[in-house]
Amino acid sequence: MYRRASDFAEQAHRMQRRKITGEPYFSHPRNVAHILRDAGFREEVVAAGFLHDVVEDTPVTLDEIRAAFGDDVAELVASHTEDKSQSWEERKSHTIDVVRTGTLEQKAIIVADKLDNLQSIKYALSSEGNKVWGYFKRGYDLQKWYNESIVANMYVGLEKEEIPSYFKQFEQLCQWIFRK
């Protein structure tokens, strides 16, 4: 399943580029999947990590994900997929709600996604400084609100021993980036 999900996501995102680095977009879902795999999550969660942006950002549908990877993977992808008909604030509030109320696996995919995004921002800050915030439709203040809200809600309902170590890494990186 790992290889199939990787190939599927790479093909779906083949024409896309990351907005900050300009590198092929697939580098992001690959990084998310690797974070999940390294944390010991089951293959369906890792597959969902590869596929987490496919429905949101490409013509691929949730039904196609379900047919190719099964209900479990499709439900994990669906929990992470934003409704682009909503405003940025509505979409981000929904993600924060999923982080607060979701399962460990749902939270894990979201936090892995946000960790990789912040790692890209940290890299860009080192070379571009605060110009990096111009890449986003919502600047520094709203990015800070969003990421700090993820941190404030990601531990809700989890036992200390089940929290992946990269959650703390995300929290620390968020504090460093938004330290102003």
- Kindly give, in sequence order, each residue whose CB lies less than 8 Å from that of residue 19, ignoring residues fewer than 6 positions away: 135
CA distances (Å), 132 to each of 1, 49, 103, 122, 176, in order?
36, 25, 32, 9, 15
pTM score of the predicted model: 0.94
Best mean pLDDT range from 79-93, 123-137, 161-175: 161-175
Domains, the chain, in order of start with CATH, read 2-177 (1.10.3210.10)
Residue 57 a catalytic site member: yes
Residue 180: its pLDDT value, please? 60
**More confidently predicted of 2 and 40:** 40
Residue 173: its pLDDT value, please? 96
**Closest C-alpha to 79, from 57, 110, 50, 100:** 110
**Which one from 7, 10, 38, 57 is the annotated catalytic residue?**
57
**Which one from 7, 23, 44, 56 is the annotated catalytic residue?**
56
Residue 56 a catalytic site member: yes
Dihedral (Cα; 161, 120, 27, 164), 10-degree rounding? 0
